[in-house]
Amino acid sequence: MAWLYLVFAGLEEVVAVMAMKYIGKGRKAIPITIMIVGFAFSFFCLSQAMQTLPPGVAYAVWAGIGTVGITLAGLLWFKEKYELPQFISLGLLIAGIIGLKLTV
């Protein structure tokens, strides 16, 4: 169950960070609300995961899911461009997350 909490925490972090992108555009109340609720839920889920998982592992996986998730969101929603070294680095990050999952 801790790993499921961790996945939800990472995904909510992505939602909250994506909402930040829209705060400077037009109406601010909706993206600010989404950001606050997203981070609150993310930290709640992270704290639940840390009840079972070592904090260092939980935090590293949470940050990794967020990094990979917001990068993919940037590619899909914001049409950001990335070079091969960035994709290789993301692959290494994913491999690290999988390695942590397999060893804890």
Q: What would the pLDDT profile of 8-55 be if each residue is shown by its tens digit?
A: 999 999 999 999 988 877 778 999 999 999 999 999 999 999 999 999
Mean pLDDT for the stretch of residues 70-98: 91
CA distance 36 to 63: 18
**pTM of the shown model:** 0.84
Residue 2 has pLDDT above 80, yes or no: yes
Print the domain residue range for 71. Answer: 1-103
CA distance 35 to 12: 9
Instruction: Tell me how many domains the chain contains.
Output: 1
Contact criterion met (CB below 8 Å) for 45 and 75: no
Which residue, among 21, 1, 28, 14, has the nearest Cα to 69 in the 3D structure? 14
